[in-house]
Chain A
Amino acid sequence: QKEVEQNSGPLSVPEGAIASLNCTYSDRVSQSFFWYRQYSGKSPELIMSIYSNGDKEDGRFTAQLNKASQYVSLLIRDSQPSDSATYLCAVNEGAQKLVFGQGTRLTINP
């Protein structure tokens, strides 16, 4: 079973600061990476996807991918209390099979 690992947290960040979420994966040939956000009692919703090495920015969110290090991260700038949620890193193994990390619980403190 290919693995995706995340720091389970909880990660506590003051409002307005940068939240940094990290993920490592075991399969060197993995090509597609996703960050989902899940609020308590809700289903996951996509935040970012990334396929190429480097950075990808979307508003306050930046995903970073380093395939050589098998590492993907998500930065949240100007963190808001509404960003408090569990963030799930996922890797597509093929035929639409997503392998998820355990998730990092993020709390933004006003």
Chain B
Amino acid sequence: KAGVTQTPRYLIKTRGQQVTLSCSPISGHRSVSWYQQTPGQGLQFLFEYFSETQRNKGNFPGRFSGRQFSNSRSEMNVSTLELGDSALYLCASSLGGNLEETQYFGPGTRLLVL
């Protein structure tokens, strides 16, 4: 079974621009979670989607948004980029039914904001 895929893998943007990242979950998985990883803050939860609905959201500003499509693929968007948005953005997929499920991470998108 193919793993979680993320595109693009690397991205360079300038302040004020916006960016859209894509995540394709493992086949059959309906939950997609997004995380931001930085050296200073570690891994932080952004939001989670299940069956096209956002079920949970972390403490990030409204510039960070996401959506999920009927095939469970998900996108996240960051508008008005700031230097501090430079990070590794990871998505993880799971079946989404209960707390004991493992989340499987994709390879990540490394975003650099100049």
Return 18 A-B CB contacts under 8 Å, by A number: A32-B99, A43-B90, A43-B105, A43-B108, A44-B90, A44-B105, A45-B105, A92-B100, A94-B56, A95-B56, A96-B33, A96-B48, A96-B94, A97-B33, A100-B44, A102-B42, A103-B42, A103-B43
Which residue of A36, A45, A97, A102 has the most chain B CB atoms within 10 A of its CB atom?
A97
Chain A residue, CB-CB nearest to B43: A100
Q: Provide the residues of chain A in CB contact with B92, threshold 8 Å.
A: 96, 98
Beyond the given A44-B43, A96-B101, A97-B58, could you list 20 further A-B residue pairs with CB under 8 A, ordered by the A residue number?
A31-B99, A32-B100, A36-B105, A42-B107, A43-B90, A43-B105, A43-B108, A44-B105, A46-B102, A88-B43, A90-B43, A92-B100, A94-B56, A95-B50, A96-B31, A96-B33, A96-B48, A96-B56, A100-B43, A102-B42
Q: Which 10 A-B pairs have the closest CB atoms?
A: A95-B56, A100-B43, A95-B55, A43-B105, A32-B99, A96-B48, A92-B99, A97-B56, A102-B42, A97-B45
B residues lining the A interface (CB < 8 Å): 31, 33, 35, 42-45, 48, 50, 55-56, 58-59, 90, 92, 94, 96, 99-108
Kindly state the separation between the CA atoms of A68 and B106 in the bound complex, as whole angstroms.
34
In the bound complex, CA of A98 to CA of B47 (Å): 10
Per a CB cutoff under 8 Å, which of B31, B55, B100, B106 touches A51?
B100
Interface assignment of A82: CB less than 8 Å from any CB of chain B: no
List of A residues within 8 angstroms of B107 by Cβ: 42-43
CA distance A26 to B70 in the complex (A): 36
